[in-house]
Structure 1
Amino acid sequence: MLNGSLNYQNKNTSIIRSRQISLIKMKGSVQITLSAIMIILLVVVDRSEGDPRSQVLNLTCSQQRATSANFIPNFVRVMEEISTRIQTSHRATAVMGTGPDLIYALAECYGDLSADDCMICYAAARTAIPVCLPGVGSQVFLDGCFIRTQNYNFFEENAGSNDIVICGNTTRYGVSLDSAIHSISDAARDAPRNRDYFARKVVGTANESTYVLADCWGTLNESCCKECLERASSSILQCLPWSEGRALHTGCFMRYSNIDFLNADSTRGNNGGNAKSQLIQRNCEHQQLNTRTDFSLNFGQAMADISTKMETSHFGTAVKGTKADKVYGLAQCYGGVSTRECNLCSAEALTTLPGCLPSTGGRVYLTGCFMRYENYSFFGEHIGEEDRVICVNKTRRNNAFEQSASKAVFQTVETAPKSKEYHAGKQALISGTANKSVYAMADCWRTLDTDSCTYCLQKAARSMLGCLPESEGYALYAGCFMKYSDSNFLYPDHHNTLSKGKTIAIVMAVTSALVFLIASIIAFYAWKRRNKSKRRRQGSDDTQLLMMVNNSSLNFKYSTIEKATGCFDEANKLGQGGFGAVYKGILPDGREIAAKRLFINHRHRAGDFYHEVNIISSVDHKNLVKLIGFSCLGPESILIYEYLPNKSLDHFIFDAVRGKELNWAKRIDIIVGIAEGLAYLHENSKTRIIHRDIKAANILLDSRLGAKIADFGLARSFQEDKNHISTGIAGTLGYMAPEYILNGKLTEKVDVYSFGVVLLEVVTGIPNRRIQTSEDTHSLLWIAWRNFQQGTLEELFDPNLLLKDDTSSNMKKEIKSVIHIGLLCIQQVPSLRPTMSMALQMLSKNIVPLPSPSNPPCIPQSDTETNEFAQITAFRHRLNNPASLPTVTHTSFSPR
């Protein structure tokens, strides 16, 4: 998954440096850049197909083992049926057997794959599935397709215990939260409405986009597809802000990425029966393997290795396992077959050869390739008992044809052993005709030596010519393959031949690129002149800021911090924040520190470092983590904080054991400390600051369990004359205020909302994520609101508080008041939420009685499970249509 796009601006910037550039120099720059473009275009134009995305993501095997002797044969038959059906459609189902021998199978290629790419992906999946035998069930997800088998009817299932989400990629900053939420929401909404249950979305700009794919299995109805994708979108949002995520669910698949992995529009349907991937014959050994061995597992691993090798060399061998479970495998495409056709042929072989299991060996001959496996080393075999000839009686020909066929065949026998790839193809003109010929081909497996290849071809040729005067014949031998025909099946040199259409396409593309490039250069210089003074000012500001940071008394040498943390030893790692990893260290003077190693790999990331240094160094409060210093001269920038031994608040309140360490007196002190810290940030510091990511994980506890607000990586300062700042969304789902998610409107009330969520978590010991009640699945906020309305707030109290009915009436009253304040902080309308100074007054009991809270944000739930994308969609609809709000509302964001 490499991003192969060409960055014209960067390339032009590197080539064109002088303000007064001569025409000759400009022409040279165009030629240099154009050469690069031509190379790329040649590759792009010649690659007419898409990416089959045949990487295996996850394989799940049933732990239950089949007890019937007929189960594995039924598995073989059902997969053969699937293999046949998926060639004419992107999806297939099949059922085989009865009673305990029953087996159901489903295969699906995602909607943007072409028919050929579908076969390549399916072959990789088909190779992996036998690993699960003799288990009664299996499922494998690839980036382009899916297969599942089971001993019961699962076709209408859309959820299961094996549903997972996979997050990854190389950066946490490659996808914008806003565009990801939009595109995931749109894809999950549209796919169930489409005939093929498939949707893809691209949202964003040319420089920063999110690409999304959503696909449901064709056995579901629209309602089940919708439910599956709602759950999938909910789980995949947990990956944000990572730049890639995949949801692998029982009834559907979703993926988002900042890299364009989608293929161009494809038409589902028959792959046209590629001429080089037609099955000629399959031979299976008579000996059956013991189903309790690991032979099937080793078979799958061997075939996977071979498949990888075939992609680049058209040939591959593999050996897996030990003793009786050992598997030897070999595959080879015949000479003259293009890479694309070789991949298709090996894919077809990989779908066909597993049909020989549970036999100890098998081989398949196709029109473009050969594949074989055994439980012994057969690599040196050149003849065997299974050798045979196949004659095709298309047309009986005359003596002239027989003479020409013999001539062509024996020419290949003489030539092939001498060639590098043991291949030869010959054409012989039939005497007495003007333009009719006979064609012959010979291939030996590359594991043979020259003498073995020659002997195999000589014997195969004599046997195959026994088919004459019939017009076509095949020799299928242990060490070689031969064919003759009156039809031209030989291939030209695909690596050196371009069709007329492709040549025209290249000329047109290069011409267009040239015009675009010249226009880009002109536009670039116009832009450069307009912005030169601006860049000079910006560069001056950057230089001044850098000098200020470097000259600061807080600046540490990189080597000092590196030594203090043991070269950032993983054993000293305390955790991972939004902008970097945190390590414990000890300075030479004995002070314990927490060093935050920032992810600054690009120039524009350096601004984040300067921003955080400026903000943190300007604040000083007992409830804010203290900045000891920083380092900016090493490979990465580092922020150095005071070390707090008790980690973060979430390690206590969400833990059944450690939660008992925080009685109510300590919890109310923590709540008040957070409130005091936020009030200082919002109202009393020199620069008013909105934190934007207040959550339990960002509240650190000192040695006395006092609260200190940490992680200013998302903080924003604002001026007193500004009512709000409009920004891109940043923060943690479950703690973000609705108006912020809706339109990026940022005020201090965003922090107030987050504080209200944390307050309720501290009181209840429950994180604000999905909670299963006796009635439905709800969020902490909704449950708190319902209990407040019903007068049953004591049901929310954390059992770890160990309250006694006869001694804690005043304490219970205080806790109820705190919940009341939390509900005031999470009200849907920002203006109704108190300021942090007001909330502090309420906690100090200086405001009595407390005002009645209004509804928290309304986020509808699905019938079975909460999902974040539906919540955000609901925000946009309901916040713009207040009349649609019901009396009792609820919210359910899930924090990461």
Structure 2
Amino acid sequence: MATYSLLISLVIYVMAFSINLSHADPRADLVKQTCGKVRVQNVSNYFKYYSSITDYMQDEIYRNKFAFKDTGEPPDRLYVLAQCMDDLTNDECALCFAQISTLIPSCFPSTGGRVYFDGCFIRAENYSFYREALAPEDTKRCSGILNKGQEFSVAVKELLSKMLLKAPSFRGFASKHETSNGISAYGMANCWKILDRDLCSICLSEAVASALSCIPSTEARVLNAGCFLRYSDASFANDSNGEHSKEEVFSYITYIMGVVLICVIAIGIGVCVGKLTYRRKIRLKQSKETEDLLLEERVQYMQFKYATLDTATESFSETNRGYMAPEYIAKGRLTEKVDVYSFGVLVIEMITGVQNNKYQSDKTYETLVTCAWKHFQSNTVQEIIDTSMTIDQDAEEIERVVQIGLLCTQESPNLRPTTTEVVQMLRKKDVELSSPSKPPFTDELMELHYLGSLDQQHPSTFGL
């Protein structure tokens, strides 16, 4: 929240700063207008060309505070350039251009001319003048009000020297003020943006020399082909009270905004990654809990109490009895969900008779199956039959039932028969049985421990 508050505060600050930089004065005071001495051949075409060019330049001048364009056929081809001083806002520049652009047509049928306002400049010719830094028509205007004090002269000279150094290196613009013993001088220098650094420096060097010749005038303007320079004893530029132009300030603010935005994005990414990681941990935890629950349910399904069997077989009714005790399961109706593996374990339990509260545990089932496997392998299945059970069937049928139970408890679920196949195996003796593979848990130590303890407690259970 603190980051977002900072961002909002910065945006508000930028808005407030923008308002402070906005002024209603486009400085559209006419400084000088000059017209060419050569006449065009087709005046009507010249007017059309000019109208077309200025229509195009309106949008460009608003966006960039600078525009140039040419159109038509020589010798009446028309070239036009217009630019605002850099300290004007886009809105102020648009207002200044709207007024200054109406003055050039007053020069027609001349081939063109120049118009200087304090806030903007426009020039039209029938030749490409875009790279001209100086021209014979360059001039200056010195104020009739004088300040002969040494302090003012020192301030102006220092001011002009610094603007000459700064402007060519800073997009052709400089706005400064200097003070000498409490006496201030304000200045602004602006090259047309079509000039490179060297041409701008040439233009402003001549402009500074012309301005120095105006001292001790309290104000002077130099109107060259490629630049405009002004000094005064009063502030006139929008940012003349500071050392940074509006572009510098906004560049700095844009940089700060970019840094803040990057920080916000980074924090957002961190929060998202954190949430995804947390959710993944929760899902893994839930998945583990689900697996544990399913395992617990599986174990529960493997544990059948006597009451459950009694209910499923209707108290071991003769109508539900088949050839052997395990067929009670096939014919009866269990109310619990029973898978094939559980059925196989249940067969072993019913034959051995060890299903009771004392031995209800996973290890008991594992040991029992490991024991229906050892005896099956050694052809001693009869030794695991509960002595309390009255079985008059032959040993071959007993071994068949044990073999079915072992098939149901094989390690790979794909090897286990389906419930339907189990029922057919029990009912149809002619169905050939495959040889069961080793159960999933054959722990020799567990088997020995279990057989030893079982022999001590129930010596008649396994006949050992």
Q: Work out which structure has the larger RCO, using CA pairs closer than 8 Å and 6 or more positions apart in sequence.
A: 2
Larger Rg belongs to: 2
Please tell me the TM-score bracket, short chain as reference.
Answer: 0.3 to 0.5
Name the structure where strand makes up a greater proportion of residues.
Answer: 1
Compute the TM-score of the two structures, normalised by the length of structure 1. Answer: 0.25
